Amino acid sequence: MRNVILVIMLALLAGSCTVGPDYKRPAVDVPTGWRLSEKEAKDLAQTAWWAQFNDPILNNLITTALRENKDLMIAAARIEEYAGRYGIVRSGLFPQVGAAGQYTREQVTKTGDNRPATGYQTDTETYSATLNASWEIDLWGRIRRSNESAQAQLLATEEARRGVILSLVSSVASAYINLRDLDRQLEISTQTAQSRGKSYNLFQERFKGGVISDLELSQNRSQYEEALASIPGLEKAVTQQENGLSVLLGRNPGPVLRGKTIDTLSLPAIVAGMPSDLLERRPDIRQAEQTLIAANAQIGVAKAAYFPTISLTGAYGSASGDLSNLFKGPSKVWQYSAPITMPIFTAGKIAGSVREAEAIQQQALISYQQTIQNAFSEVDDALTNRAQTAKQLAAQKNQVDSLRQYAGIARMRYDNGYTDFLTVLDAERSLFNAELSYTQTQGALYLALINLYKAMGGGWIEGAEQVAQPKVKP
């Protein structure tokens, strides 16, 4: 017993020894600022930015997606999986205790050379009840490093879930904006087709009266058919967009409720933030760092295999051939041991494991650095996209206003005989295409701001997380 106590004391004294490198956050080359600065930017990274559209329907859609989206449910279940793994690994830090009971009845042969001596009982019964315990002394930190790695993997899955939330909210908002954009384009095409249809009917009457030629009638008809031809494609796109949005909401494909038109939606403010903020704002960066921490700890797990492993095992209980005497003093049984194992020759197995762990750590490090660089690039692209799209939208609005005036004048001059119908045709076709382009750019500006909020990340993800299905705590 003294020897066992001595082993335990030595183990506790050596418990602070942990092989393998301790994690230190790698130095990152962070830009001092963005290439394009925004004077109107506001610190809104903590707010539910989608509420700035001032559309209750969009707010409800996002809430529904956070509660019903299947990808988010899978991510939550994956956290449960890794919480279970963490619990399994963490259990190795503590003694394992169990109980066992057994009843045995045995009879030996009574014939031949193997028959028992006279007076020996050939039919025997044995009862036993024992408590068993075992504990691996973590001298070199193998279990602690494994625990460190499992904990980091669990945190990485939580960050992955937050990444799903970030993408989900952005995708729902983008899908809704695209839907309202398509609705507006369909509205323009339908109104244009109706207007040109009335004009075509009038031209048919004028052709019958000999006022216009068949050339002018054909030109007017081609203009009418052009507007009609654009409608089926837009109707198809609307249906497909509704179905895609329904899947994000965790529903079967079907119609989606609308709120404000794209013309009446409020434009969200520009979110502010420095490049260094992304290290804490973006879940994909935090996930990559936790993956690096896990890989770093696995190096210690691999290196610990070079050193001896000491375990304490023991059992205490009773055994008797008579059930009534099972728990009496003479029936007591016990045993303890402290086995030690140490590798002597493994033909490079341990060295190969260490090399593998170090290579995986290097991959995780490079992936972490790459994730940060991609984040910087995405934010810079989003800022540029928003600024340039805003300029493009302003120019297109001026173009639409000019073409609307041009089409009105051309139609008036044609009705008064000052110009041919080809001029009217050109003016109205240009106006139709410009209106569609303006609506598309209008939607692109909203999408640019959505992408900016997605690229910047922020505390709003934790707020959205509270709306989603609760995650499992380790």
Is residue 106 situated within a structural domain? no
Is residue 473 situated within a structural domain? no
pLDDT of 273 strictly over 60: yes
CATH number for position 152: 1.20.1600.10
For position 264, what pLDDT does the model report?
93
* CA–CA dist 284, 282 (Å, integer): 6
| 463 residue type, one letter | G
* CA–CA dist 316, 314 (Å, integer): 7
9 — pLDDT class (breaks 50, 70, 90): low
> Which of 322, 330, 273 is CA-nearest to residue 459?
273
* CA–CA dist 94, 362 (Å, integer): 32
For position 474, what pLDDT does the model report?
45
* CA–CA dist 390, 384 (Å, integer): 10
For position 390, what pLDDT does the model report?
92
Q: What's the maximum distance between 2 C-alpha atoms anywhere in the chain?
A: 138
Q: What is the DSSP letter of 37?
A: -
Is residue 124 situated within a structural domain? no
pLDDT tens-digit readout, 81-130: 889 988 988 888 888 888 888 888 877 666 656 555 555 556 777 878 88
Other residues' Cβ atoms within 10 Å of the Cβ of residue 72: 22
Backbone angles phi, psi at 102, to 5 degrees: -150, 140
Is residue 102 situated within a structural domain? no
The answer to whether 264 and 54 have CB atoms below 8 angstroms apart is: no
Mean pLDDT computed over 427-448: 92
Is residue 274 situated within a structural domain? yes
Which are the contacts of 466, defined by CB distance < 8 A and separation ≥ 6? none
In whole angstroms, how far apart are CA 448 and each of 83, 134, 273, 383? 37, 60, 16, 8
Is residue 223 situated within a structural domain? yes
pLDDT tens-digit readout, 215-261: 888 888 888 888 899 999 999 999 999 999 999 999 999 999 999 99
The range of the structural domain enclosing residue 74 comes to 20-95+139-309+349-467
Other residues' Cβ atoms within 10 Å of the Cβ of residue 447: 20
Q: Collapsing DSSP states into helix, strand and coil, what is residue 28?
A: coil
Q: How far apart are the first and last CA of the chain?
A: 37
More confident residue, 7 or 240: 240
For position 3, what pLDDT does the model report?
56
Mean pLDDT computed over 433-451: 93
Residue with tokens 């394992």: 96
Is residue 328 situated within a structural domain? no
Average pLDDT over all residues of the chain: 85
Looking from the CA of 196 toward its CB, the CA atoms found within 13 Å total 26
The answer to whether 48 and 460 have CB atoms below 8 angstroms apart is: yes
Is residue 472 situated within a structural domain? no
The total domain count for the chain is 1
